[in-house]
Structures are given as structure tokens and as C-alpha cells.
Amino acid sequence: PLHIAAKRGHQVCVHTLIAGGARVDKADAAGCTPLMQAARAGHQSTVGMLLRQGAEPNWRNLQDETSLHLAAAHGHTECLDELVNAGAELNTKDAAGQTPL
């Protein structure tokens, strides 16, 4: 449920689920975390909320992509700002050898 709420940018649901014990860095079958889902979808406020709740900005999915890779690939510059300010690594390479920027 947290992945879906994050992907859709439902901040109240994200907050409620985390307060109820949902793990902020739980990966789905593709290795993506709720933060990655929010970054891919361009939900800046949700990205910020998840980061403030302790989400790891440098988590890698099964393709070795980070949230920064996903936000950049979809043109979500506002999410990039949130992630960089939270310590996301700019030069991390994914499985294809690509950096986020």
C-alpha cells in the first residue's frame, strides 16, 4: 500500500501508513522503494515527506537505478532538487553504466 500511495502522491495516506508501521524503505518485486515510486511519478512533496521520514536516497533497484535516476529520466527537476539536498549521489551508475544526470 505504501508504494501505491507514494506513486500516486497521496501524502495523507503515506503519512498514515508510515505512522502505522509501514517500512519506508521496503522494496517491491523490482527492488523499488516508495521513494523511487514518488520520484518516478514526480511527486515532489511526497519525495520530501519520505526523505524526512528516513527514506534512503541512494537505494538501488534491480537495474541499479536510484531515485535520482528515475526522477531525471522522467524530467522531474523539482524531485531532483529534493533528492540532491538529501544527499543523493550524483555520479552513481546504473546497470547500463548511466549516471542520473
- List the domain boundaries for the chain: 2-85
pTM, rounded to two decimals: 0.96
Domain 2-85 annotated CATH 1.25.40.20: yes
Task: Summarize pLDDT for 58-81 with one digit per residue, the tens.
Answer: 999 999 999 999 999 999 999 999
Residue 42 is predicted with a pLDDT of: 99
Top-confidence residue, 101 or 13: 13
Q: For residue 101, is pLDDT > 90?
A: no
Between the two ends of the chain, the Cα-to-Cα distance in Å is: 30
Task: Summarize pLDDT for 10-63 with one digit per residue, the tens.
Answer: 999 999 999 999 999 999 999 999 999 999 999 999 999 999 999 999 999 999
Q: Which residues contact 51 (CB under 8 A, 6 or more apart)?
A: 35, 57, 82, 83, 86
Using alpha carbons only, how large is the chain's radius of gyration in Å?
12
